[in-house]
Structure 1
Amino acid sequence: MTVYLDANATTPVDKRVADVVLAYLTEEYGNAGSRTHEIGHAAQTAVARARRQVAAVVDCSDDEVIFTSGATEANNIALLGLAPEGQRSERRHIVTTAIEHKAVLEPLDRLAHSGFEVDLVKPDRSGRVSPDEIASKLRKDTLAVSIMAANNETGVIQPVLEVCSLLADHPAYLHVDAAQAFGKLLPDLRHHRIDLISVSGHKVFAPKGIGALVTRKRGFRRPPLTPLLVGGGQERGLRPGTLPVALIVGLGLASELAVSEHAERQQACIAYKNEVLAGLTPLGPQIHGDPEHTLPHVVNLSLPGLDSEAVMVAWRGLLAVSNGSACTSASYEPSHVLTAMSLPEDNIRSALRLSWTHMTESVEWAEAVSRLQDLLPL
C-alpha cells in the first residue's frame, strides 16, 4: 500500500464530512435560493450554519464569509476585486512576497500590466519574509499588502501577526492567503487587522471545489470589492451562482472539526514529523525552511546525491510525495519559492516535499531508505 505524503496538495475527505456531503447530495438536495418552500428553506438553514462554522475559525461575523470554489477564486476576487478602488483612489501600489502561490502572483501580474506597481519582497534563507522589508516598501499610495500565512512548498509560517502590527496606522488592505493555514494556525488568522482571508476546503479535509473569502469589516465598512462575475447576486453580489449546498455543508463541518480537534491533530502531526526525520537520518537530509517556524505536518528537504525525480520513481508503490506545488507539477521549471530563498541549485533540483495529516499511516522507513541507497554512487 502506498502511504500518502502529499497532503499539502490535497487532504483526504474526513469520513464524517463525506457522510454529510452525501446526505445533502441525495436527501437534502434543495436550492438555498428557493425560499418559498421548506426544502429550499432547509438548504438555506444548512448554508447559514456552515457560514457560522467557517466564521468561528477566524473569529469573524458570519456575514463576512463569502463562499467560493476555493482559495484560487478567493485570491482573484480579493486582489482583482480591489483594482477599481485603487484606480478610483489613485492608490495603485501593492506589496506582496516572492514566495506566494501562483494564484496570488498571476492576478497581481495582471494588475501590473494594467498600470499597478507590484513590489515583491524576498524571504531570507530560512524561507521567512522580514516584516521590516515589507514595512520598507509601504507608501502612501499602497492599496494592499498580500502575504500567505504559510508557504505551500516549505511549510514555513510567515509573520502575519507582525505585519498586522506594522499596518496598524496604514490604510492598506491586508490580504492573507490561508490555503495551507486555515484551521491549523488559529491565532494568526483571528487578528482583526486582516481584511481578507482566502480559504481552501480541500486542504482541511473537505471536498475539492469549495472554499471561502473572508471579507472582514473595518468598523462598519466592508472591503470595497468589485465582483469579477455578475448574474444572480448571491453571496452579497460578490460571487453569483447557485450555491453548492452539499460542498458548503462539508466545509462547515470540516471547519468545526478543525477547531474542536486542533490540539490532538497538532500533536499527532508533530510526532509524525519526528518519525519522518528520524527515518531519513541515514540519508543526511538537508532541511529547507526554519524548523522553528514551520507547520508540523510538512517538511521540504533534499537528500544529498539524489535527484528528486529519481527519488519519487524509487518510492513508487511505497510513498507518494511531491517536489513542489501541485499546481505546477507538470512544469520542470525550478521552484520559484526555493529560488527566492537563494538556495543552491543542487538543493533546488533535488528538493522534495513531504506532507501528512493526523490520519497518515506509518511508513516502513527502512525500506524507503534502502531503495534510495541503491541509487547512491559507490
Structure 2
Amino acid sequence: MTVYLDMSATTPVSTEVVELMNKYFLEEYGNAGSRTHEFGVRAKQAVEKARQQVAEAASTDKQNVIFTSGATESNNLAILGLKNYGIDENKKHIITSTIEHKAVLEPIEELAKQGFEVTYLSVDESGLIDPDELSNSLRSDTLLVSIMHVNNETGSIQPLQVICDVLADHDAYLHIDAAQSYAKLPQGLDNERIDFISVSSHKLYGPMGVGALIARKRGYLRPPLNPIMFGGGQEKGLRPGTLPVPLIAGFGLACEQAYKNHSEWQQHAQTLKQTLLDSLGSLDIHVNGANTSPFILNFSAPGVSSEAAMVTLKGIAAVSNGSACTSSSYTPSHVLTAMGLADNRVSEAIRMSWSHSTKELPVQGIMEALKSIRV
C-alpha cells in the first residue's frame, strides 16, 4: 500500500470534521445570512463558533477572522486590498522574499505593473531571510512586508519574532502566509505585530475550498483593506458571497484539533523525520533548507533524479519535487534556485511531508527504490 507523503500539498480530513460537516450538509443546512428562521440562526451560530476556533490558534479576537476560499484568496486580499490605501498615502513600496509562494509573488507582481516598487529579499542555502537585509530595505514609503512562515517546499521556518522586532518601530503592514503552519505549528503567530495571517483549511486536516485571512486591528483601527470582489457585503464587506457553513464548521473544528494537539503532533512528526534522516544518511544526501518544520523534509540524493524517483516510488510512497500549485509547469523550483543551489541538486530534490496521522514511514522501501536508480 502506498504511503501518502505529500501532506504539504493537502492533508486528509479528520473523521470528526467529516461527521460535523455532514451534519451541516444534511441536517442543519441553513444559510447563515437567513435571519427569519431557526435554520439560519443555527447556521450563523456555527459560523461564529468556527470563527472563534480559528482565532484561538493565533490568540486573537474572532472579529479579526475573515473567511475566504483558502490561503490564495487570503493572500490576494491582504496584498491587493491595500492598493488604494498605498496610492492615497503615497506608500508604494513592498518588501517580500524570492522564495514566496506564487500566491504571494503574483499579486505583488500585479501591483508592480501598476507602479508599486518591490524589494525582494534574498536567501542563502538555509532558505532563511537575513533580518539585517529586511531592516536595511525598509523605507518611509514601505507599505507592506509579506513573508511566508513555513516554506511549502523546504519547510524552512522564518524567524517571526525577529521579523516583528525589526518592524517594531515602523508602520508597514506585516503579512504572514501561514498556510503550512497555522494551528499545527503556531509558535510566533500570536505576535500582535503581525497584521495579516493567511490560513488554508486543507493544509491542517480540514476541507478544501475554505480558509481565512486574519486581519488584526491596530488599537481600535482595522487595516485599510478594500475588497477585491463585490456583491453581497458579507464578511465585513471584504469577502462577498454566501458563507459555506459546512466547510467553515469543519475548518473551525480542524483548527481546534490541530491547535490543541500541536505539541504532541510535532513530536511525533519529528520522530518520523529523524528515522528517515538516519537511513538516508547512507546516500550522502543534502538536506535543502535549515530550521525546518518537523512535517517536511526536502533533500537531494546525489545521482538520483527526482523525476525518476517519483516514478520508482509509486506503490511505495507518494512524494513530490516541489509545489503542487506549479507542478504542471515542469520548471526548476524557484525556491531552490533562489537559495543558490547547483542545478543538479535542484533536479535531484525530493520533498516528503507527513502528518500526525502517518504511523510510520516506509523507510526500507524508500531506500531500496532510491538506490536502484542511483547513477
TM-score under structure 2 length normalisation: 0.98
Q: Secondary structure at the match of 2:135?
A: helix
Corresponding position of 2:374: 376
The one-character-per-residue Cα deviations of 1:267-305 (angstroms, maximum 9, x if unpaired) are 110111012112323322210111xx1110101100110
Q: Give how far 1:183 is off.
A: 0.8
Q: Secondary structure at the match of 1:324?
A: coil
Q: Give how far 1:97 is off.
A: 0.5
Aligned residue identity for 1:29:
Y
Inter-partner Cα distance in structure 2 for 1:324 and 1:136:
31
Inter-partner Cα distance in structure 1 for 2:371 and 2:292:
28
Inter-partner Cα distance in structure 2 for 1:296 and 1:14:
20
Aligned residue identity for 2:303:
G
Corresponding position of 2:250: 250
Q: Secondary structure at the match of 1:135?
A: helix
Inter-partner Cα distance in structure 2 for 1:166 and 1:362:
40
Inter-partner Cα distance in structure 1 for 2:179 and 2:297:
17
Q: Secondary structure at the match of 2:57?
A: helix
Inter-partner Cα distance in structure 2 for 1:77 and 1:304:
41
Corresponding position of 2:103: 103
Corresponding position of 1:347: 345
Q: Give how far 1:215 is off.
A: 0.6
Runs of 4+ in 1 over 4 A off after TM superposition: none
Corresponding position of 1:154: 154
Inter-partner Cα distance in structure 2 for 1:295 and 1:77:
27
Corresponding position of 1:235: 235
Verify the 8 A CA contact 2:152 2:323 in the aligned structure 1.
yes
Inter-partner Cα distance in structure 1 for 2:126 and 2:222:
35
Matches within 5 A, 1:57-68: 57-68=57-68
Q: Secondary structure at the match of 1:189?
A: coil
Q: Secondary structure at the match of 1:279?
A: helix
Q: Secondary structure at the match of 1:199?
A: strand
Please say if 1:307 is aligned against 2:305.
yes
Corresponding position of 1:172: 172
Inter-partner Cα distance in structure 2 for 1:190 and 1:23:
32
Verify the 8 A CA contact 1:201 1:251 in the aligned structure 2.
yes
Higher alpha-carbon deviation: 128-137 or 181-190: 181-190
Q: Give how far 1:187 is off.
A: 2.9
Q: Secondary structure at the match of 2:206?
A: coil
The one-character-per-residue Cα deviations of 1:210-246 (angstroms, maximum 9, x if unpaired) are 0000010000001100101111110000000000000
Corresponding position of 2:188: 188
The one-character-per-residue Cα deviations of 1:319-378 (angstroms, maximum 9, x if unpaired) are 00000000011111111101111011110111010000011132332232222222224x
What percent identity do the matched residue pairs reach? 54
Corresponding position of 1:321: 319
Aligned length: 375
Corresponding position of 1:362: 360
Verify the 8 A CA contact 1:3 1:361 in the aligned structure 2.
no
Verify the 8 A CA contact 2:317 2:362 in the aligned structure 1.
no
Inter-partner Cα distance in structure 1 for 2:30 and 2:157:
40
Aligned residue identity for 2:60:
C
Aligned residue identity for 1:61:
D
Q: Give how far 1:168 is off.
A: 1.0
Verify the 8 A CA contact 2:295 2:354 in the aligned structure 1.
yes
Inter-partner Cα distance in structure 2 for 1:36 and 1:185:
40
Inter-partner Cα distance in structure 2 for 1:139 and 1:365:
49
Corresponding position of 1:141: 141
Higher alpha-carbon deviation: 278-287 or 101-110: 278-287
Inter-partner Cα distance in structure 2 for 1:233 and 1:7:
34
Unmatched 5+ stretches in structure 2:
none
Inter-partner Cα distance in structure 1 for 2:227 and 2:337:
34
Please say if 1:5 is aligned against 2:10.
no
Aligned residue identity for 1:232:
G
Matches within 5 A, 1:331-342: 331-342=329-340
Inter-partner Cα distance in structure 2 for 1:284 and 1:167:
40
Inter-partner Cα distance in structure 2 for 1:92 and 1:363:
48
Q: Give how far 1:46 is off.
A: 0.5
Q: Secondary structure at the match of 2:95?
A: strand
Corresponding position of 2:81: 81
TM-score under structure 1 length normalisation: 0.98
Aligned residue identity for 2:306:
S
Q: Secondary structure at the match of 2:373?
A: coil
